[in-house]
Structure 1
Amino acid sequence: MAATDTGRLLVPRRLSGSRLDPPAAPRPAVPALWLVDTDEYRAYASRHAPDILDDQELAHAAQLVRAADRDAYACAHVALRLLLGAYLGVAAREVVVERAPCAHCDEPHGRPVVRGGGLHFSLSHCEGLSLLAFATTPVGVDVEPVPDPAAIAEVADVLHPREAAELAILPAPGRPPAFTRVWTRKEAYLKGTGVGLSADPAADYVGAGPVPASPPGWTLSDVLAPRGHHAAVALARLSDGA
């Protein structure tokens, strides 16, 4: 099942710690979105991670110092492999994730991809939550907690001048959620293009208002997220050669 469109927000499905029936494949122009709550999924991910994650993923998880980071990583990547396997029709551990050519130097350290190019995916996780997107064209996704006002002041230069102006006219209590809305849109788009934060985040305008401003060739949508968080997804349009 793809995400549900409520008019302004796309609503992801929640992945539970139970048997995963084969999900419906993503449709053109409609990403399939899945939300994973770490608290709900931790026991399942911990039990199945040794049989699902590859050696590199297990080693990376073991290197994380904080238990919360290990839990978030394990939940996100177990969910990713299970869903990729379900969409591709293979066992989760048999999914081969590679790196696309870098958008800057063409070396193989770009965004993660699966072989064949028929299915695109993106993953974002923060403490307590993971958001996954699957699509028939390049896709990027991001989920973030709303920061405190002091943190926003420190990163104000990452905004496009128009976005900064839009935030400046808001009452002080409305700026943190609006900033997070802008940032998730921006990061989802940059992840979708494959350049990530190696590009200047201030270069592209995505808007701070209720409706995203989509860059050329892309569709930006806000995603329904739990209280205290914002999320967004960026999808390349078929008509633009994606």
Structure 2
Amino acid sequence: MHWLRSIEATAPSYPAVWLIETARRPRNLMERSQLRRETAGALLARQLGCPEGEIAIGHDPAGQPKLAASQAGRLHISLATRAGIVAIALAEKPVGVDVELVDPAGAIPHEALHPDEQQMLGAIETGMRPLAFARLWAAKEAYVKALGTGFTRPPESFAVSLPSPERFRIDDPSRGLRAEGLLRTIENGGRETLAAAAIVLEGA
């Protein structure tokens, strides 16, 4: 998987994830959606070699973003926004990407976690727990985006493990599925630390 940080960078192959830092701070869901679409439109125009005005990002019945077939063939897309960072993932198979802010003062929603995840976080040093949780939750979000379900399924119904700072694993017994994804930790202009996660479902 290629990880890119510039909106002007083109990927030589797929899958690829762009983590684009912007100066904007969306205040609500509408502004976040607008920032995602504008940033993705500019990036995709360069990546796909077409005018930006011709980029059309629609949604499937489950609300997941989808490129017009005439523009991208069989490419799958996933988008995320957090703290001015826009994440854009492209792959030839179902892909999910997410970005989460590391919040040292944030409460961890233990009731939304799988028991194995609760145990894992409980064993981590207190000071490192916010980063671990951000990685875990970004991984969960990325996975359900790749599935195309979003959190219509309970987040505690599958387990994320973090074998290293660069990788995560999914164990989803209800689907008989085990998968692995990639993690990145990024600094947003020295202001915030964020955890990014991306996964491609190879067997989908």
**TM over 0.5, yes or no?**
yes
CA apart distance, 1:203: 0.9
Instruction: Please state which structure has a larger fraction of its residues in strand.
Output: 2
Q: Write out aligned runs for 1:211-226 (5 A).
A: 211-215=167-171, 216=177, 218-226=179-187
CA apart distance, 1:191: 0.9
CA apart distance, 1:110: 3.2
Work out the CA distance in 2 between the residues paired with 1:178 and 1:230: 9
Q: Percent identity, please.
A: 31
Amino acid at match of 2:100: E
Work out the CA distance in 2 between the residues paired with 1:221 and 1:179: 15
Query: Please, which of 6, 15, 18 is the counterpart of residue 34 of structure 1?
Result: 18
Range that drifts further, 187-196 or 225-234: 225-234
CA apart distance, 1:115: 2.5
What's the counterpart of residue 82 of structure 2?
A: 126
Work out the CA distance in 2 between the residues paired with 1:135 and 1:82: 18
CA apart distance, 1:120: 0.9
Contact 2:106 2:130 in 1 (8 A): no
TM-score, normalized by length of structure 1? 0.69
Show CA shifts across 1:65-91 (max 9, x none).
x39x84x55443222012222333322
Range that drifts further, 141-150 or 186-195: 141-150
TM-score, normalized by length of structure 2? 0.81
What's the counterpart of residue 160 of structure 1?
A: 114
Work out the CA distance in 1 between the residues paired with 2:16 and 2:50: 18
What's the counterpart of residue 102 of structure 2?
A: 146
SS in 1 for 2:159: coil
Contact 2:58 2:66 in 1 (8 A): yes
CA apart distance, 1:175: 1.2
SS in 2 for 1:90: coil
Query: Please, which of 93, 99, 106 is the counterpart of residue 59 of structure 2?
Result: 99
Contact 2:136 2:162 in 1 (8 A): yes
CA apart distance, 1:188: 0.5
Amino acid at match of 2:120: E
What's the counterpart of residue 196 of structure 2?
A: 231
Instruction: Please state which structure has a larger fraction of its residues in helix.
Output: 1
Q: How many residues align?
A: 189
Q: Which runs of 5+ in 1 are unaligned?
A: 4-11, 43-63, 101-107
Q: Which runs of 5+ in 2 are unaligned?
A: 172-176
What's the counterpart of residue 66 of structure 2?
A: 113
CA RMSD of superposed structures (Å): 2.5
Query: Does residue 1:14 correspond to 2:5, yes or no?
Result: yes
